[in-house]
A and B are shown apart, each in its own frame.
Chain A
């Protein structure tokens, strides 16, 4: 397939080149012909006038002598000269008799004439002189044929060389192209076998192949990340669901084995229901995340004031902060309108504050701030004075289910920040985590849904 396509390509180029050559040569040929013909006609007319002038000065005999002298001098015998009397009997010139085929009237012609059985294609000027004399000045056009021929031969030669160079060039290009495509194929084959770590080689030249390879490599990066993510998620789901399910199972089994008195049994059953609720919560959070990732929820796009949403969330979490002795403050810097999903935005802001509340110690502080950037994007920042997140862990905390060592033993499904990340992504934005010296400064930057 590739082989034939490379060949087709070079043959196609050659054909195209030849067509271009012909198209280029045709007007050239035409221009040359016109100028040569035109020039010839003018020369013949000039010649005829000069000879007419000689006739006026010196009479018929004088002209006849002049013509004969000139014929004697002529080297290239292409000029037709003939002076004839009233009965068209030649007086002087290089034709043995008046040719047939010459039009009756004086004027300039290109016609075929025949002289003593010889066929000549000629340009002619017929001039009537006083006293019934006729002057014929002409030129054998056939003498120009070789010149024309060499023009076309030259053209054909050029086309031949062109084809040859084109074909060789095509074959060379084909070899280069093939070798690069082969390398892409080999890498792709290896990747298909399951090794996603391979990447297409990049050459030093920044050509189209490099661009293609880079795009494919980026695609592979994303695929690898996704596959990695899926693996992580299934591991995490297994872990995070297994824990409450194990508790639930042992609780129920214990009930069956121990058959405790009613009161105790009731308490155990209630605890079992709470276990199930935990499973459902994790499950719902997962569903929501996968929906956000799939870009669903777009039906809900309206203009949301992020400042409003943040103010509401701060108010909502305020009592909880008071209980922990944490100061939760909100600083609004004007409206921050954005196109988005109000439910998801509220939840994302809520998750950020919730997260901050979980990790900020007593007497700490949490500062929420919304700001509209000059380019229209909206920033929502939640800064706490908790332990912060070690630099190395920062990229991972947005991963589904990832929980830093510091968070072991705190409630939550570990989905909080990943949901914030997913919501930010859905709103054409990002979640950035900075150091708050001490603490964490989490910032959502949103451009808004289209």
Chain B
């Protein structure tokens, strides 16, 4: 995956670029809005990581607006030290696709980037989700693991749906909080883990091959393979 990183802080840029390269991505870096804009125009990129505040005349929001005006649909993840709801809304309105507040964990950044590019690739309209022998019928709202019917509470269903829609990706706790519960705050306790472990008890019986796995320091991944 080819990523454009527009970030003026050298240390943060190095940290993000190194991490992305280690995950097998190609990274171009610009440390100001003007360079970022010209790189974005030259290149096709799979995704753009844009710092909200950039030195000089052109800040991140302006770059995003320019990119969107040129007709590009490249998914953009905004990085910002401003955590206000207003700032988030402004960034998303300008054409950003997701918003991550600094400081962040690299796992969080990677997971969100992954979710963004897949979302761009396939905005699935499927009525049936499938991971290994786990099936979810979105119309009848029935879940089966092989031959076995799995009875879920409404919220557990929503949680599983999100995980299955992002199969083979790392999904962080924050992503789950935001998308399953629509909570934009950190409850400071391990509640997401508790919900996940309850869900796991229902879909992964001891005799079965585990589908829902914990990814250390990042979150969870739903996957049929290893």
* Interface positions of A (Cβ within 8 A of B): 270, 273, 276-277, 280-281, 284, 287-288, 291, 296-297, 299-300, 312, 315-317, 319-320, 323, 343, 346-347, 350, 354, 357, 411-413
Question: A299-B86, A300-B85 in contact; A347/B185 too (CB < 8 A)?
Answer: yes
Interface secondary structure of A, over-half rule: helix
- Per the bound structure, the CA–CA distance linking A288 and B184 in Å amounts to 12
Q: Are B191 and A319 in contact (CB under 8 A)?
A: yes
Q: Chain B: interface residue count, which band?
A: 20 to 34
- Docked Cα-Cα span, A270 to B89, in Å, equals 33
Taking a contact as CB atoms under 8 Å apart, the answer to whether A411 and B191 are in contact is no
Known contacts A343-B184, A346-B183; A319 and B103 CB within 8 A of each other: no
Q: How far is the CB of A274 from chain B (nearest CB, A)?
A: 10
Closest 7 CB pairs of A and B: A319-B194, A347-B185, A343-B184, A319-B198, A320-B194, A299-B86, A320-B191
What is the chain A residue whose CB lies nearest that of B184? A343
Q: In angstroms, how far is the closest chain B Cβ from the Cβ of A388? A: 21
Q: Which single member of A270, A288, A320, A346 contacts B189 (CB below 8 Å)?
A: A320
Separation in Å of the B152 CB from the closest CB of chain A? 13
Q: Are A343 and B195 in contact (CB under 8 A)?
A: no
Give the distance in Å from the alpha carbon of A427 to the alpha carbon of B95 in the complex.
32
Listed in ascending order, the chain B residues whose CB lies under 8 Å from chain A are: 83-86, 89, 103, 105, 155, 181, 183-189, 191, 194-195, 198, 217
Is there contact, CB below 8 Å, between A296 and B183? Answer: no
Contact between B187 and A354, CB atoms less than 8 A apart: yes
Nearest CB of A to B201, in Å: 11
Q: How far is the CB of B40 from chain A (nearest CB, A)?
A: 30
Considering the chains assembled together, what is the distance between the CA atoms of A84 and B85 in angstroms?
Answer: 111
Q: Tell me which residues across on chain B come within 8 A of A296, comparing CB atoms.
A: 84
B189 surroundings in chain A (CB, below 8 A) = 320, 354, 357, 411
Q: Which residues of B contact A346 (CB under 8 A)?
A: 183, 185
Interface hub of A312, A347, A350 (most chain B Cβ within 10 A):
A350
Bound-complex Cα distance A347 to B181 (A): 12
Look across to chain A and name the residue whose beta carbon is closest to the beta carbon of B216.
Answer: A270
- Complex CA distance for A64 and B202, rounded to whole angstroms: 142
Knowing A280-B103, A315-B155, A343-B184, the reply to whether A297 touches B85 (Cβ < 8 A) is yes
Chain A residues with Cβ below 8 Å from B186 are: 281, 284
Q: How far is the CA of A137 from the CA of B95 in the complex (A)?
A: 108
